[in-house]
Chains A and B, each alone.
Chain A
Amino acid sequence: MNRFLPVTAAALLALPLLSGTGPARIGGEMPEFQAVKWYNTPPLSVEDLRDKAVFVEVFRTW
């Protein structure tokens, strides 16, 4: 099952902004990752992931 790449986005830095987050924009293009740090992989770009199925989980450590 190599087509599936889970990416977990730990949105630790976006807390103050999240209160203003609106509904999901289905069909919207994946934005480039503005990353502070990547784990377990060299930094990935949208181009790397464009033709893959990508599962993203947004979580916090608490």
Chain B
Amino acid sequence: MTDEDVSLVDDFVAKYKVDHPLVVLSSSELEELIGVSGFPTSAVFSKGELAWTGHPASAGSAIDDALGEAEKGSVYPKKLKKVREQMLDGDHADALADLRKLMEKGLEGRDAEWAQRIEEYMLATCDRDFASAKEELQAGLVYRAVRRVEGYASKDSAFPQAADIAAWLAEREADPNFKKEIAGGELYEEGLQLEKAGEYVDAFKTYKKAAKKGAGARIEQVAVDAAGTLVTDRKTGYKDGCPNCDRGTHSACAKHFEDLEI
């Protein structure tokens, strides 16, 4: 295991706003059971046993069968549903405050066990997110960095790191280009979502707008580079279904390629 590998996944999760449970594994035991021969490969487990493997797009009936055999209810206790939603929405301080209120009122059994697990996870995640935000700042992603940690620093936050994060945020806000970083950064993140969806021309245009909004700020160069990469990789103009466009790399054929300029 190296830190570099985990940082790739950190970036992936932030970039594509992944909000479902995700794990980075250190052993190949699971992949060996599933029989991974390419990516993506998916699997369905029912009653703790491997029931199906294949391409994610073909998993429908296997999922239905497994659901038919599954116990009703979420993995997470119903009483903690709101806390978990707050956590995933980035309302960390509220999530921790509400969780502790529930714990003070008295939780029992599975509810109490999960409350403790979620509390430990939130406290650990705060440290990790603050470290990631500092790295994102280094990479010129001010908007993403600020959004990542601002939910920990609200007034009355119970996170031990809240004061440090608030001070760090105040430093960012003192930057004369802060508003440009935020406005450009928000558009840049929209561009990433469009790129993920395969809307490459729209992604290019959105990156271009991000660069304009962030002119003079660090996000300008980040957005220009992202737009330029789409053109260099010949993704602008790619048409799904065109026999001459490359489905593997999503590079456009000579007919469809749009050589856009920023």
Contact = CB atoms under 8 A, between A and B. Distances in A.
Interface string B53-70: 100100100010011011
Q: Contact size class for B? A: 35 or more
Interface of B: 1, 5-6, 8-9, 11-13, 18-37, 39-53, 56, 59, 63, 66-67, 69-75, 88, 114, 117-118, 120-121
16 contacts: A4-B70, A24-B50, A26-B50, A26-B51, A35-B23, A38-B21, A40-B88, A50-B48, A51-B71, A52-B75, A53-B63, A55-B44, A56-B30, A57-B40, A58-B31, A60-B39
Contacts of B46: 53-54
A23 B42 CA distance: 13
A8 B21 contact: yes
B121 to A, nearest CB: 4
Interface string A35-62: 1111111111010111111111111110
A5 to B, nearest CB: 5
Contact of A37 (B6, B33, B51): B6
B52 A9 contact: no
A38 B23 contact: yes
B26 A8 contact: no
Contact of B23 (A23, A30, A33, A52): A33
B9 A61 contact: yes
Contacts of A48: 75
Nearest to B68: A53
A37 B36 CA distance: 21
Contact of B27 (A14, A39, A57): A14
Contacts of A28: 33, 49-50
Dominant SS among interface residues on chain B: mixed
A41 to B, nearest CB: 4
Given A21-B28, A33-B25, A49-B45, A3 B70 contact: yes
B18, B19, B42, B44: residue with the most chain A Cβ atoms closer than 10 Å: B42
Interface string A6-30: 1111111110011001111111111
Given A29-B49, A33-B30, A40-B20, 4 more contacts: A24-B43, A28-B49, A53-B66, A57-B56
A61 B8 contact: yes
Top 6 A-B residue pairs of the complex, sorted by shortest distance between their CB atoms: A24-B35, A53-B66, A51-B71, A42-B121, A14-B28, A34-B27
Contacts of A39: 9, 13, 18, 21-23
Contacts of B35: 21-25
B54 to A, nearest CB: 9
B39, B69, B118: residue with the most chain A Cβ atoms closer than 10 Å: B39
B74 A2 contact: yes
B75 A61 contact: no
A44 B22 CA distance: 10
